[in-house]
Amino acid sequence: MTEAAALRAGGARGVLAALAVLAGACGGPEIPDVGSGGMEPAVQEAIRAARDALAADRGNAAAWGRFGMVLHAHRLGAPAGLAYAEAGRLDGEDHRWPHLHARLLETAEPARALGLADEALRRNPRFSPALALRARVLDAMGDDGAAEAAWEALQEAAPGSVEAPLALGRRQLLRGKLAAARTAFERVVERLPSSAAGWSFLAQVSRRLGDPEGAAEATARARAAARSASLGATADPDPLLIAVEDLRADSRGREARARRAAASGDHDSAEAIYRRLVDERPGSADLHYNHANALARLGRTEEAETAYRTALSRDPDSSAAMANLANLLARRGRDREADDLYRRSIAADPNHLPTLLGASSLHFQRGNFRQAERYLRDALEHDPGHPGALQGLGQLLATAGRLGEAAETLSRALAAAREAGAAAGQLAGIHFLLADVERQRGRTAQARIHLTEAEALGMSVPPAFRALLEPGR
Amino acid sequence: MSFATGCLVVAGALSGGIAAAAQPRFADVTSTAGAAFTHHTGRGGDGRPAYFMPEIMGSGVALFDRDADGDLDLYLVQGEGADRFFENRGPGIRFVESAGIPATGAYGMGVAAGDADGDGDLDLFRTGYGPDALLLNSGPDGFRVSEEEFWDDGWGASAAFCDYDADGRLDLFVTRYMDYDEDFRCFAATGEEDYCNPTDVPGLPDLLYRNTGDGRFVEVGRETGIAALPARGLGVVCHDFTGDGRPDFYVANDTEANHLWVNQGDGAFTEEALLLGAALSGFGRAEAGMGIEIGDLSGDGVLDILLTHFADETNTVYLAEPFGFVDGSIDRGLGTLGLSTTGFGVALADFDLDGFLDAVIANGRVARPPGQSPRLPFFEQYAEGALILRGGSARFADAGAGSPDLSEAAVVGRGLAAGDLDGDGDPDLVLTAAEGPARVFENVSSHDGNWLLVAARQPAGVPDHGATVRIRTSAGIRVARANPGVSYLSSGDPRAYFGIPAGVTIERLTVRWSDGSEEAFPAPAPNRVVIVVRGAGTIHD
C-alpha cells in the first residue's frame, strides 16, 4: 500500500526534472528523463540503462515497456505510465502494457484503470490478473452487479484463486446467505491456510450459524495468521507485478529479492545478491547473517562460518547468528565450540527459541537427554504452544522410553502445528513420530492411523514400518 | 452477547426540509482567533536522526471547558517544545493565551480531557514519545504535572478517559504506537531515505490504567488481558459496541488488524474484532488505522465506526449490525473518495444541519513521493488538503469545493477536533499539522436547520464519557455520542451534537449512561445547550 501511494504521488507531483527529446524523428512521445537527485547510484544506473536501450530503438514496444517497468519498480508512476501507454500503442496485441498501466492507476483513476484492464483482456481474455483487477475496480466503484460477474469470471478462469472466493463469500455474507458464504471462505483457507481474512470471515459466519466452536477455532487461526506481517495475501499473485519488483535496483529492493529467492529455495541467487550487498553495506550485521544462511544452505560451510563470524563482529549480541553458527559447528562435530556459542546466545537472550532448540538438539544427539529436555522445557515456558519444541520434546521422551508422555506431547505438537498452518512435511513428521510411539505402546490401530496420515502428507514410509499399514496386523 | 439494535428509522425521512444547497462549509479564521500556534518537529536537532519518526506523526488538540464557564477552551500539544493553552474569550471565535502550562519532558503526541482526580474540573492526560503525563487542572493557576510516576515512558499515542469498571471514576486507555529504535533507518524504492514504514517496526501492548480513587492510577493491562496483544496502536475510542451495558475499547492499529476489546464485566477484556468483523477491511486487508470516529451512519439508532487510513486504502466504515460489523465503505462512496490521501484526524457530525452526518478528515503523507527530494521545502512534500464529505441518505459526496481554505490548502494534517467554539450551536474545527500552524475553522455552512447540544453529566458534575444520547424526532430516532475521545491524538467537544432539519421537532430525549442504564428526559426545544444530570430527571440550560 505504501508503495502504491508513493507511485501515485510520484505521478501527481511530478518527478520529472525535465523532458528531454532524445530522438524526435519518428514522431513518438518524448522519452522521460527522470530526476535522479537523491537516488541510489544503482537505481540511477538501472533507469539510465533502460532509457539508453529505448533511445537506441524508439519504435520497439518492448523497450518502452521495459523502461516503464524499471520506472514502475522504483515508484516513479507518472513516467512509467507514459512508457506503458506508448508500449501499448506500438504493440496492439501485448496484454502486458495495458495491464501494468492499469495497475498504476487502479486506485487513483479507477475509470481509466478499468478501460485499460478491458483492453488487456481484449488482448488476452483469460489473463487472470487483469480479471482480478477489473473485479476490484468495479467493486470499489460500487458497480455491484458488474463486480459480481467479474469475480465469477475470475473464479472460472483461475480455479486456484483466493481473491475470487474471498470476494464472492463476502457478498454472500452481506446478503445473509451464510451457508454459501461459509463454503466460499472454506475454499479460501483451503487454498491459503495463512489467510487471516479467510479465517476471520469464517469465524464471523460460523458464529452467525450458531457454531461457537467453529467460530472459536477460526478466530484462533485468524489470530495466528494475523501475527504474520503479511496476514496472508488477499490478492492473487500477479506475475507481471512480480517481474516489476524484480527490477528494483535499490539496495532494499535487492535485499527483498534475495529474501524471496531464499524462501523459494533458490539459494544460488540469494547468495549472489547478498554477496554484492555485503560489499556495498559491509557494516550491516543482518546482511552478513543472511549471506551466511545462504552459504550454509549451499553447503559452503567454511564460507558460511566466516560470514557468521563477520555478522557477529558487527553485532556481538545477535542470538540468531550465534544459534545458526552453533548449528553449523554442531553439524561439523565441533560440539564444544557449538555448546559455547549456544550458551553465549542464551546469555544474550534467554528466550531465543532457535538457540534453545539447537542446544537441545546438540545434547539430544550426544545422549545428554536431561540437558536436552531442560532446554526444551525452557523454550516451552516461553512459548507453550511452540510446535517445534513440542515435537522435539515428544521425540526426546519417546527415546527415553517415556511413551505415554511422548504420545501426549506429540499430540499437542500436532494440534499446535495445525493451528500454526505448518507445512505438510512437519505434520507428516509428527504423525510418523506418533505412529512409532503408538507402535511401541502396542496400539497398532492408532499407529496405523498416524502412519496413513504421514503417507497421505507425502512422507515415504520406511520399509520397516510398511507392514503396519497392512490391515489385520 | 447481544448487540444493541436500537430503533429502526428511515434515515431518508430526516431529509424533509433540507435546503437544496446544504453542504458543510468552513472558513479559516486562524488569523483572528488569537490561537497562534505552530507545531515544531525539531527536525534534525538534538542529535536526532534525519528522519525521526515521531515528528511525522504530528500532535493533538483538546477542546474542553477548563474553567467551567460554558465554552470550549483550547489546548495544543507541541512536538519539540512547550504546549500552549488558550482560553475561549468569545463572543465569536476569540482565544487568549493563558500561562501555566508545565513542561513534561516528552516529545508531545496526544491529549485527552477528563476529570482524572474526581474534583469536578477537567484535567488533561498528555502522551508523548517519552514519559506520558497527567496535567491536573489548578484553576486560575493553570495546570500542574501530577507527581505520581506511574505513567509509561515509551511511545504513547491517543488516550481515552472512560469508566470501564463502573466505579464512578474515570479510567484511562492509552494506545502505544511502536517499539521505535532511533538508529533504525528506512529507505524508499529509489534508495532515498525517508520515514519508516510501520511494518518495519514492532508494535507494543496498549495500556489500561485503573483509577483507584486516591489520586493514583494502576496499569492493569496484564490483568485485563489487554497486554496480551501488542500492536501499533494509534486511535482509540471507548463505547459500548456490544450493547451489553459495558464500555468497550476499539483501537485503530497501523497496518495490523484492529482490536475490539470487549468488556466482560469482571475486570477482563477479550479481543473480538476478528470475530465481529471490525479487524480487517471488507476485502480482508489489515489497513493502516489512524483516527476513529463513531456516529450513526446507517440511521438505525446504533453508532457505527469510521476509520481513517493510508492512501490506497479506503477510509473505512464499519456498520454496526445485530451480529457484528460489516464494511460499508463502498456503499457510502468511500471505495473511491479519499483514496489518494492519507487520513489521520477525523470528525463526524451533521455540520450543515440537514439531518445527515458529514465527515472531515485531516490528511497528510507519511512518505515522500520518490524523486522529489530537493524540489520542495521538506514538509511540503508530505502535505495534502483535507477531505470534506457531505453526508446523504446513502453515499458521501465530495464537498471540498465549498471550503478551499481547508480542502485545498495542503498541510501535513494530523490532529482534528470538532466542537462549538463560538457558541452558535454548530461544530467548528481545529486542525493541527506536523511542522505547521494549528488552524481554526469556523463552520459557515448555510442552512435553515436547527441544532441541539446535550452535555451528559454525572451527579458530581463531570461529563459521562461513555454516554450516548438519543432523541426521538418527528422524523425518526437520532443518536450521538457524548464522548470527546475520538479522532487522532485529540479530544473534541464532549457534548452530544444534533443537527435538526427545518420542520423537524424533538419529541423525547434519552440518555444511555456509561454503565448501560437508561434515563428519559423531557423533550428540549432546539437551538439550546442543555445539561442532563444523571438521576436528576430534568434538564438545564
For A219, name the nearest residue in chain B, comparing CA atoms only: B275
For residue B342, what pLDDT band results from cuts at 50, 70 and 90? very high
B373 contact residues in A (CB cutoff 8 A): 37-38
End-of-domain residue from the set A173, A200, A233: A233
Whole-number pLDDT of residue B541:
67
Task: Give the cell for residue A329.
Answer: 559447528
The answer to whether residue B137 scores a pLDDT higher than 90 is: yes
Residue A196's domain spans which residues? 163-233
Contacts of A204 in chain B (CB under 8 A): 275-277, 323-324
Predicted confidence (pLDDT) at residue A175 exceeds the cutoff of 60: yes
Chain B segment 168-227 residues within 8 A of A by beta carbon are: 187-192, 197, 199
**Local confidence band at A233 (pLDDT 50, 70, 90 cut-offs):** low
pLDDT of residue B530 exceeding 80: yes
Position A153: which residue type? Answer: A
At B34 the pLDDT is: 96
Mean pLDDT of B316-341: 93
Give the CA distances from residue B268 to residues A151, A219, B164, B262, B455, in Å, rounded to whole numbers and listed in that order.
42, 19, 10, 8, 30
The enclosing domain of A212 has a CATH number of: 1.25.40.10
* CATH at A450: 1.25.40
* Average pLDDT of the residues in B65-71: 93
pLDDT tens figures, A339-364: 999 999 999 999 899 999 999 999 99
Mean pLDDT (chain B) is 91
A157 belongs to a structural domain: no
Decide if B274 touches A, using CB distance below 8 A. Answer: yes
Q: Closest to B274 (Cβ–Cβ): which among A166, A195, A203?
A: A203
CB contact B397 to A (< 8 Å): no
> Is pLDDT of B11 > 50?
no
- Select from A233, A255, A274 the last residue of a domain: A233
A203 contacts in B (CB within 8 Å)? 274-275
Nearest chain B alpha carbon to A174? B326
Flag if B197 and A2 touch (Cβ within 8 Å).
yes
Q: Does B18 have pLDDT greater than 80?
A: no
B262: amino acid identity, one letter: V
| B57 or A420, higher pLDDT | B57
Q: Which of B242, B258, B274, B298 to mutate to probe the A interface, most A CBs <10 Å?
A: B274
Residue of A38, A73, A234 lying closest to B192 (CB–CB) = A38
Q: Is the pLDDT of residue B90 over 90?
A: no
CB contact under 8 A, A8 and B323: no
Read off the pLDDT band of B106 (50, 70, 90). Answer: very high
State how far residue B283 is from chain A, nearest Cα, in angstroms: 7
CB–CB contact A173 B372 (8 Å): no
* Binary contact (A8, B257; C-beta < 8 A): no
Average pLDDT over residues B131-154: 89
Q: A219 and B342: CB-CB below 8 Å?
A: no
Q: A408 CA to chain B: closest CA distance, Å?
A: 27
Give mean pLDDT, residues A121-136: 97
Q: In this predicted structure, what is the pLDDT of residue A230? A: 56
Torsion of Cα atoms, A12 then A17 then A23 then A24, to 10°:
60
Q: How far apart are CA B140 and CA A347, in angstroms?
A: 55
Q: Is residue A299 part of a domain?
A: no
Res. B375 pLDDT band, cuts 50 70 90: low
Residue A359 to chain B, least CA–CA distance (Å): 27
Distances (CA, A) of B510 to B137, B356, B473, B506, B532: 31, 20, 12, 11, 10
A38 pLDDT band, cuts 50/70/90, is confident
Of B274, B311, B367, the CB nearest to A200: B274
Instruction: Inform me whether the pLDDT recorded for B204 exceeds 90.
Output: yes
Euclidean distance between the first and the last CA atom of chain A, given in angstroms as a whole number: 58
Q: Are the C-beta atoms of B327 and B334 separated by less than 8 Å?
A: no
HEC string of chain A equals CHHHHHHHHHHHHCCEEEEECCCCCCCCCCEEEECCCCCCHHHHHHHHHHHHHHHCCCCCHHHHHHHHHHHHHCCCHHHHHHHHHHHHHHCCCCCHHHHHHHHHHCCCCHHHHHHHHHHHHHHCCCCHHHHHHHHHHHHHCCCHHHHHHHHHHHHHHCCCCCHHHHHHHHHHHHHCCHHHHHHHHHHHHHHCCCCHHHHHHHHHHHHHCCCHHHHHHHHHHHHHHHCCCCCCCCCCCCHHHHHHHCCCCCHHHHHHHHHHHHHCCCHHHHHHHHHHHHHHCCCCHHHHHHHHHHHHHCCCHHHHHHHHHHHHHHCCCCHHHHHHHHHHHHHCCCHHHHHHHHHHHHHHCCCCHHHHHHHHHHHHHCCCHHHHHHHHHHHHHHCCCCHHHHHHHHHHHHHCCCHHHHHHHHHHHHHHHHHCCCCHHHHHHHHHHHHHHHHHCCCHHHHHHHHHHHHHCCCCCCHHHHHHHCCCC
Say whether residue B282 is in contact with chain A using an 8 A CB cutoff. Answer: yes
Of the residues A187, A215, A233, the one at which a domain ends: A233
Cell numbers for B539: 434538564
The pLDDT of residue B389 is 97
Q: Choose the mutation target among B1, B53, B185, B190 for the interface with A, i.e. most A CBs under 10 Å.
A: B190
Residue A16, in any domain of the structure:
no
Question: What cell numbers appear for A462 in the block?
Answer: 520406511
B326 and chain A: CB distance < 8 Å anywhere? yes
pLDDT of amino acid B371: 65
Contact state of B370 with A198 under an 8 Å Cβ cutoff: no
**The pLDDT value given to residue A25:** 43
Torsion sign, CA atoms A446, A452, A456, A458: positive
Tens-digit pLDDT profile for residues A12-37: 333 333 333 333 445 678 998 887 77
Residue at A416 is within a domain: yes
Is B374 in Cβ contact with A234 (below 8 Å)?
no
B311: nearest CB among A5, A34, A222: A5
More confident site: B3 or B483:
B483
- Determine the distance in angstroms separating the CA of A83 from the nearest CA of chain B, rounded to an integer: 17
Confidence check: pLDDT of A9 > 50: no
**Hey, are the CB atoms on A40 and B370 less than 8 Å from each other?**
no
Hey, of A204, A230, A244, which one would you mutate to test binding to chain B, going by the most B CBs within 10 A of its CB? A204
Q: pLDDT class for B76, splitting at 50, 70, 90?
A: very high
Q: What pLDDT sits at residue A424?
A: 85
Helices A41-55 and A61-73 sit at what angle, rounded to 10 degrees?
170
B285–chain A Cβ distance below 8 A for any pair: yes
Average of per-residue pLDDT across A77-92:
96
| Whole-number average pLDDT of chain A | 89
pLDDT tier at A421, thresholds 50, 70, 90: confident
Q: Is residue A170 part of a domain?
A: yes
Furthest CA-CA distance within chain A: 86
Q: Give the residue from chain A lying closest to B334, CA to CA.
A: A140
Q: What percent of chain A has pLDDT over 70?
A: 92
Question: Which residues does A227 contact at the CB level (< 8 Å), separation at least 6?
Answer: none
- The per-residue pLDDT for B21 is 57
Confidence band for B376, pLDDT divided at 50, 70 and 90:
confident
pLDDT per residue as tens digits for the range B360-373: 999 999 998 876 65
Query: Residue B434's pLDDT band (boundaries 50, 70, 90)?
Result: very high
> Any chain A CB within 8 A of the CB of B340?
yes
pLDDT at A10: 43
The model's confidence at residue B395, banded by pLDDT at 50, 70 and 90, is very high
pLDDT of the residue at B374: 56
Predicted pLDDT at A226: 81
pLDDT at B411 over 50: yes
> Residue A464: which pLDDT band, with cuts at 50, 70 and 90?
confident
| B8 min Cα distance to partner chain A (Å) | 19
Nearest to B367 among A6, A197, A226 (CB): A6
* Domains contained in chain A, number: 2
CB contact under 8 A, B342 and A5: yes
| pTM metric for this prediction | 0.86
Closest CA to B258 of B295, B284, B239, B240: B284
pLDDT over 50 at B4, yes or no: no
Mean pLDDT lowest for which of A19-23, A146-150, A166-170, B429-433? A19-23
Q: Do A8 and B191 touch (CB under 8 A)?
A: no
In chain A, the percentage of residues whose pLDDT exceeds 90 is 76
Measured between CB atoms, which of A75, A140, A219 is closest to B189? Answer: A75
Put simply, the answer to whether A251 touches B187 (Cβ < 8 Å) is yes
Q: Give the model's pLDDT for residue A280.
A: 87
Residue B13 has pLDDT above 70, yes or no: no
pLDDT reported for residue B185: 87
